[in-house]
Amino acid sequence: MTTDPQSPDFTDKVAIVTGAAGGIGAALAEALLEAGARVVISDLDGDRLAETAGRLDGGSSTVVAVAGDASSDEVIAQMIAAATEHFGPVDLFFANAGIGDGSGLAATDAQWDLALNVNLLAHVRAARQLVPGWVERGSGYFVSTASAAGLLTQIGSATYTVSKHGAVGFAEWLAVTYGAQGVGVSCLCPMGVDTDLLRSGMSSNEGSGGAVAKAAVTNAGAVLAPRDVADQTLAAVAERRFLITPHAEVLEFARRKLSDHDRWIAGMQRFQSTLTESV
């Protein structure tokens, strides 16, 4: 348990975290456990998930692993059933699983389907199963891991940009529609975080698009540690704050974008040309 008096308290809260075999998801689960929560972790990569569950649980019986696809209605139902059976009704859902690529106009329908399913529709499907119960009980909390790409754009990846904009839009809609009925919503929008997604996921396909996407993120600001991002996320949830921007400059970029869209696009075009020359 953490001894920092400023740490948020999630004692006996029941949380589900998707995409939690590593990266930001595993860090969120770790931070939740230290703050007193009991956690169901889920991931497509079952072997890595089991390892992470063993490390996080350490014999405390506060972690349960459910392997599977976060965008599957059936797997979401299994996560909720496991949480309810082992710990009690779900208080918090962290829709964190995500994928990135270096896709451009040549991205196939299959690539678009995958990105939209994992980065957006997984959130919709989880909310569809959880929010009615939260409204009935007057409490519940949904945390969307979107991205700064959902507020700005992801140079080098069309599918990531669009699916993350969708995630931000859905989180906003959820907050507006259900906030008055006790449902809290936060939306995490970081730039670079030191995880597999940034190290290799973005650049895994489609020629130089992925390398450009990775360079765009790493050249735009600091690359943060997953645990730092997780701690900032839990602090924001404890305050019931919607927008979480661990990179402060994202807010400034978003302000500039909204105040003069054409100027912002011209600036992004210049930034992109420096990147395509350098990769």
Ligand X SMILES: NC(=O)c1ccc[n+]([C@@H]2O[C@H](COP(=O)([O-])OP(=O)(O)OC[C@H]3O[C@@H](n4cnc5c(N)ncnc54)[C@H](O)[C@@H]3O)[C@@H](O)[C@H]2O)c1
Residue numbers annotated as active site:
160
- Edge-to-edge strands, sheet with 183-188: 63-67, 38-43, 14-18, 92-95, 140-145, 183-188, 243-244
Please, which residue, 4 or 74, has the CB nearer to ligand X? 74
Q: Are 20 and 28 in contact (CB under 8 A)?
A: yes
Residue 145 in the binding site for ligand X (CB under 6 A): yes
Looking at the Cβ atoms of 184 and 190, the one nearer to ligand X is 190
Among 195, 203, 233, 245, binds ligand X (CB under 6 A): 195
Binding test (CB under 6 A) with ligand X, winner from 103, 147, 161, 186: 147
Taking the least distance from each CB to ligand X, the nearer of 100 and 166 is 100
CB neighbourhood size of 275 (10 A): 20
- Whole-Å CA distances, 259 to 37, 59, 153, 248: 41, 53, 16, 18
Q: Minimal distance in Å, beta carbon 226 to ligand X? A: 6
Q: What are the angstrom distances between the C-alpha of 245 and each of 55, 144, 220, 249, 250?
A: 28, 12, 14, 8, 7
Q: Interacting stretch for ligand X, rule CB under 6 A, among 104-112, 125-133, 194-202, 257-265?
A: 194-202
**Shortest distance in whole angstroms from residue 121 CB to ligand X:** 10
Q: What are phi and psi of 184, to 5 degrees?
A: -90, 150
Beta carbons within 8 Å of 228's beta carbon, 6+ residues apart: 246
Smallest distance from the beta carbon of 75 to ligand X, in angstroms?
8
Q: Given candidates 198, 216, 243, 250, which one binds ligand X under the rule CB under 6 A?
A: 198
| Interaction site with ligand X (CB under 6 A) | 18-19, 21-25, 43-45, 69-71, 96-100, 118, 145, 147, 190, 192-193, 195-198, 201, 217
